[in-house]
Amino acid sequence: MSQLILVVDDEPKIARLARDYLEKNNFRVVMANDGQSALAIARREKPDLIVLDLMLPIIDGREVCKILRRESDVPIIMLTALAEEIDQVTGLEIGADDYITKPFSPRALVARVRALLRRSTGAVQPPNVIRLRGLTIDPQRYSVTFDGRVIKFTPNEFKLLQLLASHAGQTLTREQLLDDLHGGVSSFDRSIDSHIKNLRKKLETVTGQTMIETVYGIGYLFNEE
């Protein structure tokens, strides 16, 4: 069965445009036009991915994203007319996995959806379990534990942790991380900083250790010591 996408936007033309292109590319689509309906549909239908507008009636997109992220790890692409970088970063910090601004190319949206679904389903992941500093990162099971305690991550956070841990002690540039995350689909540099911030916070909360270090002006590394 084809994968199910929930498109949430209160502008009918944009919602229909996204739906039509996704359906032409063999996705099933359900739609909502406000935040309250989006939450109800997400809980009932359990979509494989959500395209979520920020500016929504009843419950805005930021709050919807926060609620969804507390309840599940469903991949979320934020959709908005706000092009400033601060809005993009805010969207990522509350748990979105990717970000696209209006007006958008429907083909670009489909490419982002496909790329994020590939990452979230682990379609291209090495089979080796990584064990470092009490962490066990299992790409096959898409799980991370620390001394037996489960740590939950979004798909992008998991992918970044897996990539950094598999190159422990080696500095990876933002460009390398972006290329691995987005598969050649253009994104913006600061998205990596936001994902790393969230990843580092979750790791430190559970482990009490600083495992990911910033190499200023270059990128990030997983400290193996």
The per-residue pLDDT for range 175-203, each reduced to its tens digit, is 888 877 765 444 445 678 888 999 999 99
Tell which wins on pLDDT, 151 or 186.
Answer: 151
pLDDT at 72: 87
CB 54 within 8 A of CB 77: no
**What CATH architecture applies to the domain 130-222?**
Orthogonal Bundle (1.10)
pLDDT at 132: 86
CATH number of 4-121: 3.40.50.2300
Q: What is the dihedral of CA 122, 128, 133, 137, to 10 degrees?
A: 20
How far is CA 196 from its chain centroid? 12
Confidence class for position 28, pLDDT limits 50, 70, 90: very high
The Cα 67–Cα 95 span in angstroms is 10
> What pTM did the predictor assign?
0.58
Percent of the chain clearing pLDDT 70 (strictly above): 86
Tell which wins on pLDDT, 178 or 82.
Answer: 178
DSSP state of 55: S
CB 115 within 8 A of CB 183: yes
Instruction: Please give the average per-residue pLDDT across 89-100, as a whole number.
Output: 72
pLDDT at 123: 45
Same fold for the domain at 4-121 and the one at 130-222?
no
As given in the structure block, the two tokens for residue 169 are: 């002690």
Q: For the chain, which residues make up each domain, given as ranges?
A: 4-121, 130-222
pLDDT at 102: 82
- Residue 102, Cβ neighbours under 10 Å: how many? 15
- The Cα-based distances of 173 to 142, 177, 189 in angstroms read 24, 6, 10
Of 34-43, 156-165, 180-189, the poorest mean pLDDT is in: 180-189
Beta-strand ranges (E) seen in 111-183 are: 130-132, 135-138, 143-146, 149-150, 172-173
Instruction: Please give the average per-residue pLDDT across 93-121, as a whole number.
Output: 82
Percent of the chain clearing pLDDT 90 (strictly above): 39
